[in-house]
Structure 1
Amino acid sequence: MSAPPSPSSPRPRPRRPGRAHGPGHLIGAYGLLALTALLVLIFSLALPRTFPTLDTVDSILSNQSIPAVLALAAMVPIVTGAFDLSIGYGLGLTHVTVLQLVVHDGWPWPLACLAVIVGGAVVGVLNGVIVVFGRIDSFIATLGTGSMMYAVTGWITDGGRIVPGPQGLPAAFTDLYDSTFLGLPVPAFYVLALAVVLWTVLERLPLGRYLYVVGSNPRAADLVGIPTRRYTVYAFTTSGLIVGFAGVLLAAQQQIGNPSVGLDYLLPAFVGALLGSTAIKPGRPNAIGTVVAVAVLAVGLTGIGQLGADFWTVPLFYGGTLLLAVGLAGYAARRRMRTGAFAARGSPTVPPRSPSSSTQDGGTAGTTP
């Protein structure tokens, strides 16, 4: 009879499946942060008088706040494997609606802002219901609802712009965008707070874990009892809520209702959301990665603009970055799946214990699988 194993002998600890290790994981997770620092260094050396200044920092934090908020709005449905193409149209509709209610209908600006944000959430619910219960692909469904929102925007504005009277808009309303806090533009703190909330919900709460399961394997989610339809509607509702908030910020920034301005933010939002899925948590959309991606885009565009590049470089930059983001996101997702499969098959695990060793450890005897 063999002697039982010594209690002091180390037993191999199981590795968690799907967890990446080594420098490759660090590069994938923090590569965009390194790229941001590299771009800052390059443009600072190339433009020492204009780029490394507080004015440039204020400009980036202020001008990129709305694209960052909209990118976070696009990111939430992507978590569930869906795409909301209506966010650009929704941004246009919400910002002209705020100005319509304040300028022409005489609503108090806080009530108008609240109504628009709630209305954005309602539109998100409708998008989710159409996608999951109508069983229409999210691309087609949200493109259709976005076109309808664009029609409503044209009906509200009658094809023109909403211009405030000689007295202008209430100062408290415009301060939502124009004010500063701790010496920095206050919109940057909106982005930070929103990113922290979304990160906490997606990474630390059961709701976020369910959303990720729905996006990665909806059939498995159904098998374990997760109501995939309900959580998909939740994701679209959150997206619509954030779009409503972005519309309020855009109205406070522009101070003029332009029915077509929202479409200019659609491509940057998806570039930020998709590129963000390659950072911090490679292979999965995440809030902090989205903010980092927007920072990379902001630094790149600001540097290119200060170098005197032509206007057509902006859509070229966004289009090329979108293709790169989709390719990198797909590669990161496939790498994550391969890493998880390899870890599940080849990582050292606790060997099956014999009945004698189980009894020796104080457990119950079991059978070897």
Structure 2
Amino acid sequence: MAGRPDRLGHLGHLLGAYGLLTLTVLLFIAFSLALPDTFPTLDNISAVLSNQSIPAALALGATIPIAAGRFDLSIGYGLGLAHVMTMRLIVTHGWPWPLACLVVVLGGAAVGGVNGVVVEYARIDSFIATLGTGSVMYAVTGWITDGARVVPGPHGLPAAFTDLYDSRFLGLPVPAFYVLALTAVLWLLLERLPLGRYLYVIGSNPRAAELVGIPSRRFVIHAFTVSGVVVGGAGVLLAAQQQIGNPSVGMDYLLPAFVGALLGSTAIRPGRANALGTLVAVTVLAVGLAGIGQLGARFWVTPLFNGGTLLVAVGVAGYAARRQLRRRRAEPSGVAP
């Protein structure tokens, strides 16, 4: 009998860690059976990978501050500003596209650093601070575009620039490989390097981080800066995808990004934000949205799906965090978790 609780606990851990991944497979099988002619095809898989690459990158960017217990609500506004700036530098000012992309990514890092400074040194809650800086970025976007779209000239954009999004590798859209590479980098950063361990300590127990001498302010600023780099890169990719500068497009990506990041904290490493979990969460969302879309769902089903999933994600993540805290409290007393 003594081994039964251990087996149940191990089974619960497996379900918690890999349940979302299992759900992804089951959803794919279910939609493939319901839509055998359209869903399990290479064209559909390629379209899903291509369409979800930018939301996936933005979700991974949002994961980094969440690991430190902070939230960056400016990522949607930052995405919009980054993609508009990319278009303006290339189309209006005639910059070479590699230089324009580099400047935009560095600008994203600077904006992320400013977010971190405002949160840590002005001591403003990250929700309020990043909502404020995001509104400022939205105002800047409207100012530099005067509310109008940035449209390329008759010769269009450089082919090498649009190939950042349109090209393929091994038969699949190249943006999918960007997302895989970004996931690998963030996994290494959060799981194997001191910065990631420090961020988790700061996010789970700020008082303990202070007692052991972790410079919380500096590492939180680093987290926002890295997130800004990811947002800047996603903005460049969005410009290559849309090939037109739309000053209001960024906010469409905010909710899916946070759904992916928060839902990802319930997978692989339940109870904390992690890159692999975010990737799994974005995948299950992509499969679900593609399936219900092909089944003929109305336009309002997508925000309903995202909003409902966000509520479930936050609830499950909170439950997992409380369960982990109870386990930690029980272990020193010898009580089985």
TM-score in same-fold range (> 0.5): yes
Q: Which residue of 1 aligns with 2:181?
A: 193
Aligned to 2:121: 133
Q: CA deviation at 1:21?
A: 4.8
Residue 339 of structure 1: aligned partner: 327
Return the offset for 1:219: 1.1
Match of 2:242 among 224, 244, 254: 254
| Pick aligned residue for 2:291 from 285, 294, 303 | 303
Q: Which residue identity does 1:293 align to in structure 2?
A: A
Q: SS in structure 2 opposite 1:22?
A: helix
Match of 2:199 in 1: 211
Equivalent residues in 2 for 1:1-369, closer than 5 Å: 21-346=9-334
Distance 1:318 1:184 in 2: 26
Between the aligned partners of 2:201 and 2:95, the Cα distance in structure 1 is 43
One-letter code aligned to 1:335: R
Q: Deviations over 1:125-144 (max 9, x none)?
A: 00000000000000000000
SS at 2:271's partner residue? Answer: coil
Tell me which residue corresponds to 1:351. Answer: none
Equivalent pairs counted in the alignment come to 329
Deviations 1:337-366 (A, max 9, x none): 222222332269xxxxxxxxxxxxxxxxxx
Deviates more, 1:268-277 or 1:338-347: 338-347
Which string of whole-angstrom CA distances, capped at 9 and with x for unpartnered residues, describes residues 253-309 of structure 1? 000000010000000000000000000000000000000000000000000000001
**CA deviation profile, 1:183-210 (whole Å, cap 9, x unmatched):** 1110001000010111011111111100
Q: Distance in 1 between matches of 2:194 and 2:246?
A: 40
Q: Match of 2:53, as an amino acid?
A: S
What do the CA deviations read for 1:215-255 (whole angstroms, capped 9, x no partner)?
01111101100001111101100111100000000000000
Larger mean Cα displacement after TM superposition, 42-51 or 84-93: 42-51
Name the structure with the higher helix share.
Answer: 2
Q: So what's the TM-score if we normalise by structure 2? A: 0.96
2:130 maps to a residue whose letter is T
Q: Distance in 2 between matches of 1:343 and 1:191?
A: 38
Separation in structure 1 between the aligned mates of residue 328 and residue 51 of structure 2, nearest angstrom: 39
Q: What secondary structure, in the 3-state scheme, does the structure 2 residue paired with 1:168 have?
A: coil
Which SS does the other structure have where 1:301 is aligned? Answer: helix
Q: Distance in 2 between matches of 1:211 and 1:272?
A: 19
Q: Which amino acid aligns with 2:249?
A: V
Separation in 2 of the partners of 1:225 and 1:88? Answer: 34
Distance, in Å, in 2 between the alignment partners of 1:344 and 1:187 is: 47
Q: CA deviation at 1:161?
A: 0.2
What stretches of structure 2 of length at least 5 have no aligned partner? Answer: 1-7
Q: Which runs of 5+ in 1 are unaligned?
A: 1-19, 349-369
Match for 1:230: what amino acid?
R
One-letter amino acid matched to 1:76: I
Corresponding residue for residue 364 of structure 1: none
Distance 1:281 1:246 in 2: 25
Rounded to whole Å, the distance in 1 between the matches of 2:44 and 2:315 is 31
For residues 200 and 21 of structure 1, what CA distance do their matches in structure 2 show?
28
Identity %: 74
Distance 1:127 1:244 in 2: 14
3-state SS, counterpart of residue 245 of structure 2: coil
